[in-house]
Amino acid sequence: MHRLTTGLLVFFLLPFVLSAQHSRSVLNFNTHWAFQRGDIAGAEQVLFNDKDWAGVSLPHVMRIEKKHNGGNAVYQGSGWYRRYFKVPSSYRGKRLTINFEGIQTDAEIYLNGKKIATHSGGYMGFVVDISRYVNIGKDNVLAVRVSNKDNSRVPPGKPQSKLDFNYFGGIYRNVFLVVTEKVFISDPLEADKVAGGGVFITYPSVGADTAVTDIKTNIVNTSGSTVNVRLKTMLVDTGGVTVAATVSGQLIPANTDTEIRQSFTVHHPHLWHPDHPYLYHLVSVVYKDDITVDSIVTHTGIRNIAFAPDGYYINGKKLYLRGANRHQAYEYTGDAAADNMQYQDALQLKKGGFNAVRAAHYPASPAFLAACDKTGLLVIECEPGWQFFSKDTAFTENTYRDIREMIRRDRNHPCVFLWETSLNESPTPAAWMQQAVQTARAEMPGNQLFVADDFNARSKNYYNVSYKVVNEDGTDPMPSRPFITREWGDSWMADAAKENSLRASRKYTEKGLINQCVLRQNALNGETSEAAGGYWDHGGLDANPRIAGYFVWSFNDYTRGSDPVTAFSGVTDLDRYEKFSYYQLQSMQDAHNPTYGPMVYIASYNNQPALDSTIMIFSNCDAVQLYRNNRLCGEITRAENARTAPFIAAKGGSPYFLFHTGKYEPGELKAIGIMNGKATCTHIVKTPGKPHHLEIEIPEGHTAFLADGSSMTPFYVKVCDQDGTLVSNREAGQSYAVQLSVSGQGALIGGNIPGAGIALQQTEGGIAYGVIRHTTTPGNIRIYANSTGMEPAQKVITTTTAPGQYVSDGIHREWINEDEKKVTACYSDSTAPRQLQEIKLSGKAVIITPDGENLTAVIDGNTATGWVSGRSKLPVSITLDLKNKYRLSGSRVVWGKDSDWYTYSIAVSANGSDWISVKSPERVSGQNYQPVFFQSNKVRYVRYLISDIQPETSKAAVKEIQLYGGQ
């Protein structure tokens, strides 16, 4: 779609560009909606009584969710949206379309009671032509039925209860009404043309002196008669100067379309690069008989990319990729976040030392990609997929559709450098891979298309960039293949509550945040032991001389349908508050690079006597000094410190600095970063005292507050001591009750739902969090925060008039705003882990295998140990003799390799001869460690039969077997 160039972001363009927009109108369609959760008969009808519905704005989630909403607790079902609107008589004879940027997952579109469109798939937009159905000059009723129920035919396709993220439902991205003449530039998603539709910009030759620009523009004539068109295309720099232009003419017969190809050369171009993301504006103006009939503006960046066996190159220069994986989910609102929130994510990533981001595991919103263009973040774009493949024809066709559509929508973004035309960690056959890559190449001819999948015997013949190009023994299976580590820095068995793993949360103490950094440094420096934070298929990370880069898992914490426990793997929390690891990875960038600059950060709250005699500091400076209570504890140079993690240092990164002070003292820690012998940056940490007052903080980067009905402003409420120091947790689970409220020209999202835990919430690490949605009226928004025994806080932000046009509201009943309406939302209690009584097997059970192998490590209660079969022949049978008879309620298998797929079954017996199946054969991912439940009495023997493993070269591997029940 062209929303990026003609919608809400148009105010960034220059005045002369705005003057060209009079022939095309893009109206904001996000406001004045009504919503009701549930499947409601007749809700599409014009005269339907919606008086009890809630007034909402878009983006919107069908239910506000609690912060920690994992374990399949997110609402799944149907919901209805209604929008009354008028179109003026001046639109008579025009073409009107509604552009939906994203509805999760299945949608039915009705206008004035008539179904006019359906769409499936939650991550790509679609266009609905309403020209024939709309009542000009009168009221119209648009109704949208949405369902986010499991749909195995629509990628990702996996049931939410088994998915590593959530299907938050609703019209969760922007909606626009686009008005054009009957001769217009098409939308690439609506045009449905291979390598065509809309405007397609390529740069077949890019250099410092010149850049050749090729443009294909699809122009449609629905006027009913042949028209003579002229297309003028101009490339405009940031100063408003046209640096290149061309004009072409064409006759277009009635009710047909044409593709006009143009080319020009840009002299001394400004090249787009993550360190200097220069954006031009390509202005396309269509004339019919010398009268302007359409015009659009496309943001574009001139650059050339390449992958080689030794890394990634942009504009002929090698660039080491330091990236993060990002889920689009937010606290409370799920995936429904306004454009300014999307921009904030990109900005926060950039400031965190990242130059790249993987949009896991689906196409990101247009606003996020536009922000990556602007801030300078390279993007891996992924088609929707996660550990699921189906031979169902509808599913496979939809996977190819997703590839086509994501390339058509996003091919002009300079930030997108790699297309993950694969289903993440899924057992896709070679024939599917071949078709997927062929589909992508047809959509983007030339040498600038790079596609990626995990490296294996099936994929290596089709993809030109691979993940995991490494053998288990550390050798290189294909030295000529460019490769990236797509995910590192997490373990699917990590437990943040133990504070000793790769998952950490401020819910606990600084211990977990520090240990996360220790393990991540180990991994970056080439560690392959899981117990020490690494993994063999990371490819060595910084220790690999030819790796192109890496993407940490993950940027943000997120919740999952498959697990009630939040995945605390982020360098930020769910609410984007930075953990210590955020600053650890920030220190990997060169202090001399002005894009990032020098930094220093103390990874401590100085409130743990058992830990804080040794202080961890992150810095990319020449040297670091540490002061404790104004006494110099020491100075460590960058050169000296390089020895602690030599591979990280060799890649230009900075290992953490450890200062051993000998003893703990409360008070003040001060770190100073030294550059060229001078103090350049400082970070101070003070031991927190008793809670004294609250402080409200708007996250850095939120500076413009638009009264557009959609924009959101997040805020933190901090419990502070008398000196203003955050009262961070001294003990795990330490928390304070905080009451939040908002008044004026904004509302606290979900503040009216007691069960959501928003208006009255418990702090985590001394911090509460809320999100405000702005109204359409400019003015003051007041935030209030109270907590018993502390001084309250108040903060005021002021919204300003938003640019752009809005779709006029029609006549309808008065609805109460969703965030003010008294509601009682029913939340599942499945966020609490199911309590299971584990049977202790170590020392009690005997394991029987055909080959007599020693498998005691799989019942020792330690998931860090395990067993790998000494043979590759299948099936493999593992039988447990429990010695006594038990009543069993379930079992859990922790597999040895997360990247493998295992087909297994379970049977039980009382005597070792007569067997009863309690779990039929099922193929599961190596990351599937959830218990399976069954009821069986008088069981002495339990047999696990592994009948198949993928990839074919793998051997059976099990870390732990657990049984639940009792005698």
pLDDT in tens, 444-492: 999 999 999 999 989 999 999 999 999 988 999 999 999 999 999 998 8
Q: Which of 231, 324, 240 is nearest to 281 (CA)?
A: 240
Task: Write the DSSP symbol of residue 804.
Answer: S
Q: Which of 121, 124, 117 is nearest to 97 (CA)?
A: 117
Kindly state the tokens that stand for 116: 């006019």
Q: What is the pLDDT of residue 9?
A: 35
Q: What is the pLDDT of residue 7?
A: 35
Q: What is the pLDDT of residue 828?
A: 72
Q: What is the pLDDT of residue 850?
A: 64
Q: Which of 88, 140, 138, 87 is nearest to 109 (CA)?
A: 140
- The backbone torsions φ and ψ at residue 284, rounded to the nearest 5 degrees and listed phi first, read -115, 120
The half-sphere exposure of 363 on its side-chain side, counting CA atoms within 13 A, is: 32
Q: What is the pLDDT of residue 17?
A: 43
Q: What is the pLDDT of residue 22?
A: 56
Q: What is the pLDDT of residue 830?
A: 55
Q: Three-state SS for 587?
A: coil
Kindly state the tokens that stand for 574: 């769910």
Q: Which stretches of the chain score pLDDT less than 50?
A: 1-21, 831
Q: How far apart are CA 596 and CA 553, in angstroms?
A: 21
Q: E strands within 569-663? A: 600-602, 614-619, 623-628, 631-637, 657-660
Q: What is the pLDDT of residue 20?
A: 45
Which residue blocks in 260-355 are alpha helix, DSSP H? 339-351
Q: E strands within 562-630? A: 600-602, 614-619, 623-628
Q: What is the pLDDT of residue 547?
A: 97
